[in-house]
Structure 1
Amino acid sequence: MPHPIAIAFIHGIGRTKPGYSAGMQRALKRRFAACAGKEMPAVRGRRAGRDGRLDPCSQLVFEEVNWSAALQYRENSLWRRLRAADGMRYGKLRRFLVDFAADAIAYQPAVSERTAYDAIHREVAATLARLADRAGPRAPLCIIAHSLGTVIASNYVYDLVKRHDSFMGRSMSTRINGTPLERGETLALLYTMGSPIALWSLRYPRFGEPVRLPAQSLARHHPSLETAWINLYDPDDIVGYALRPLNAAYRAAVTEDRPVGVGWLLTSWNPLCHLGYWNNAGVADQIAESLAGVWRQSTGLAVAEPERIPRVARARKTG
C-alpha cells in the first residue's frame, strides 16, 4: 500500500495563530491530486474516493509547528515593563518590534542560557511526534519553513543528525521518541521560503556548515527515495537569500536556490512580498509536484505525467 507523507509547517517571526498554513494545505491537496490522483490504488471503505480509488488527499498528513506561543508570555511580560517608562513614543511600532525582533534575538542559544531555544525545539519535537502517530513512524517527512522558521528547521535537523556535536540539550534529547520520523531519519524534502539563513551564517567562520539531509538513514527506510533541499526566494524579498553561494558546503547541501514571484498587486514588487509565500499558488504547485514525486518513489510507482490544470492567476512581478 502507498505510504502517506508527513508534512510539517514552521512559521516565521511574530505572533502567529494556528491555521497559518491552511491556504497552502488546500493548494497542496489540489495540485497533488492532479499529479497523482490517477495513480491511486483501488480501495474500499472510507478511504475510497468517488472513483473507488484511494483518496489522494489522505496521502498528505499535515501538522503545524506553532512555536510563537512558547515565547509569547515572556514577550508580553517584557512589553509591560517597557511601556511603563515615561515619554515613549510610537507605541504600536515598538510593540511590533518586540513581537518580531525579540523572536530572533531570544532564539540565539548560549552555553548558560538556552530557554527559548529549547522551548521552540520542544514544539518542533511535539509536532513530529503527532506526525509519526498519524502518518506512521516511517513516513517520508517533508518540512516547509518560512523566514525564521527556516533557521529553526535547519538547527533542529542539524541537532538530530549531529547529536554528539550539536546544541541539543539533555532536556530535549529525552523528549524525542524512538521512531525514525522523529529522529529525522525519514526527512526527504526540506523547503525553505524567504530564508535568512545566509544572514545567520555570519555567526560562524567561513559562513558555517549547513545541515545535510540524512540520505543514508532515509535509504534504510525508503531505498528508492532521494533527499532534496529547495530554497525559494523572491528577488524583491530582502529577508530571503540564496544559500548555495555561501560556500562549498552549502553548494553540496542545497539542491537548488529557486527564485519565485510571491505577493499580490501591492506587495509583489517590494520587500513586503516576504509575507506572500504561504498563500502563493505557484509556490504550492512546486511543492506539491515534489510531494507527488516522493509519494511515487516511496511506493515504487512509475512516474506519470501530471494532469495539467489551470494555475491560479498571480500578480505579475515587475522590475
Structure 2
Amino acid sequence: MARKIAVAILHGIGNQTEDFSDLFAEVLTKRFSQNIKPYYEEPENELIIQPIYWGSVFNEKENLLWEKLNQGTELDFKKLRQFVIHFFGDAIAYQPAFNYNPNYIKVHEVYARGLKILSEKAGEDAPLFVVAHSLGTVITSNYFYDLQFISERIHDDIKQNINETPLEKGYTLTSFYSLGSPLALWSLRYADFDIPIQVPSPHLKNYYPTLKGKWVNIYDKDDIFGYPLKSLNESYKRAVAEDVEVNSGDLISSSTPLSHKHYFKTNEVINEIGDEIAEAWKQLNLAPKSNQ
C-alpha cells in the first residue's frame, strides 16, 4: 500500500468562509495527480487535504461587534470599516499573551483537531505539508513553535485534542509554505526577531531518513502584508530555504496590495507546491525501500 501525503491548509485574516480552500485543494490535487498518474492508477487518493478553518473562532464575535457599533450611529465608510474589523480584528484578538489568551487557545484547538483528522485519514506517521496564508502563517509558526520548544506549557484544552501520533505531535512536519506572510512584522514582538520553527521537524529523519523538506516563503513585492524572511536574522536565514517572489493575482491585482488575497489562485504557487509534494510521494513510494 502506498504511503499518503497529508496537507494542512490555513487561511489568512479577513472574513473567511468554511469552504475557503475548496478551489485551491482541487487545483493542487490536479497538479499533484498529473505528476503521479504515470506511476499510480488513482493518484488523487494519495493526497489527503484538510482545511483548518480557524476563522470560526472570530467571525461571530466580529459580526456582533459590527452590529453593536452600528446601533444608533451613522458611520461613514461602512464597507471599509467592516473590512478593518474583520481584517485586523483577527490579528488583534489572536495575539498570544504571557499568561492566558482564550482566543489563542481556541485557535490552536482548531489546529489540533485538523491535524487529528489528517492523522486518521492519511496515517499516524504521514509526512505533513502545511500551506498557510497571511495570519495563518503566524498561527502555524506559533503552533509548531509551542510543540517544538515549549510543549510542557501547551494549555490542557489544546493537549486534549492531540493524540500521541507522530503527525499530531509535529514530528512528521516535512515542508511549510508560507504565503503572503506577515511574520516579519510579528517578529518585532521579540528580542532579535525571535527564533523560527524548524522545518523539517528534527524528528522527521526518524520516520523518513532520506525525505527532504523545507520552508518556502512566497511573497508578492506589491503585497504590503507579505515580506521576505531570510533577511530577518541568521536563524531565519538558515530556517527558510527560499524567499520566492511571485505575481499573485490577475493583471490588475498583481501590481497592487490586493495581491495579498490571491496566492491560492496563482498558478506559480499551485505548481510549485503540487510538484514538490509529488516529488516527496515518489521518493516515499517509488524509491528502493532501503532509501526511505
TM-score range, shorter chain: over 0.9
Alignment of 1:136 with 2:123, yes or no, is yes
Partner residue of 1:64? Answer: 51
Show the 5 A alignment for 1:150-165. 150-164=137-151
Which blocks of at least 5 consecutive residues in structure 2 are unaligned?
A: none
Displacement of 1:129: 0.6
Q: Given that residues 244 and 251 in structure 1 are in contact (C-alpha distance below 8 angstroms), is that contact kept between their aligned partners in structure 2?
A: yes
Q: Whole-Å Cα distance in 1 between the matches of residues 262 and 63 of structure 2?
A: 27
Amino acid at match of 1:39: Y
Q: Given that residues 10 and 144 in structure 1 are in contact (C-alpha distance below 8 angstroms), is that contact kept between their aligned partners in structure 2?
A: yes
Partner residue of 2:230? Answer: 244
Amino acid at match of 2:5: I
1:162-195 deviation line (CA, Å, top 9, x unaligned): 13476x3222123211111111111101000000
Q: Whole-Å Cα distance in 1 between the matches of residues 208 and 45 of structure 2?
A: 20
Show the 5 A alignment for 1:188-207. 188-207=174-193
Choose 189-198 or 206-215, whichever is displaced more. 206-215
Partner residue of 2:93? Answer: 106
Q: Given that residues 27 and 281 in structure 1 are in contact (C-alpha distance below 8 angstroms), is that contact kept between their aligned partners in structure 2?
A: no
Choose 16-25 or 285-294, whichever is displaced more. 16-25
Q: Given that residues 184 and 214 in structure 1 are in contact (C-alpha distance below 8 angstroms), is that contact kept between their aligned partners in structure 2?
A: no
Partner residue of 1:173? Answer: 159
Displacement of 1:262: 1.4
How many residues get paired? 288
Note closer, same or farther for the CA distance 1:165–1:133 as it changes in structure 2 (3 Å cut): closer
Note closer, same or farther for the CA distance 1:132–1:224 as it changes in structure 2 (3 Å cut): same
Structure with the higher fraction of residues in helix conformation: 2
Note closer, same or farther for the CA distance 1:19–1:76 as it changes in structure 2 (3 Å cut): closer
Q: Whole-Å Cα distance in 1 between the matches of residues 257 and 155 of structure 2?
A: 36
Question: What's the TM-score, normalizing by structure 2?
Answer: 0.94
Which blocks of at least 5 consecutive residues in structure 1 are unaligned?
A: 41-52, 303-319
Displacement of 1:241: 0.6
Alignment of 1:218 with 2:204, yes or no, is yes
Alignment of 1:187 with 2:138, yes or no, is no
Partner residue of 1:82? Answer: 69
Q: Whole-Å Cα distance in 1 between the matches of residues 109 and 98 of structure 2?
A: 18
Q: Given that residues 175 and 200 in structure 2 are in contact (C-alpha distance below 8 angstroms), is that contact kept between their aligned partners in structure 1?
A: no
CA RMSD of aligned residues (A): 1.6
Alignment of 1:278 with 2:261, yes or no, is no
Q: Whole-Å Cα distance in 2 between the matches of residues 25 and 76 of structure 1?
A: 28
Displacement of 1:133: 0.7
Choose 240-249 or 256-265, whichever is displaced more. 256-265
Question: What's the TM-score, normalizing by structure 1?
Answer: 0.86
1:226-256 deviation line (CA, Å, top 9, x unaligned): 2210000111111111000000000111111
Note closer, same or farther for the CA distance 1:214–1:170 as it changes in structure 2 (3 Å cut): farther
Show the 5 A alignment for 1:6-17. 6-17=6-17
Q: Given that residues 2 and 285 in structure 2 are in contact (C-alpha distance below 8 angstroms), is that contact kept between their aligned partners in structure 1?
A: yes
Q: Given that residues 224 and 300 in structure 1 are in contact (C-alpha distance below 8 angstroms), is that contact kept between their aligned partners in structure 2?
A: no
Q: Whole-Å Cα distance in 1 between the matches of residues 78 and 26 of structure 2?
A: 37
Amino acid at match of 1:260: V
Determine what percentage of the aligned residue pairs are the same residue: 39
Note closer, same or farther for the CA distance 1:164–1:128 as it changes in structure 2 (3 Å cut): closer
Note closer, same or farther for the CA distance 1:164–1:127 as it changes in structure 2 (3 Å cut): closer
Secondary structure in structure 2 of the residue aligned to 1:18: coil
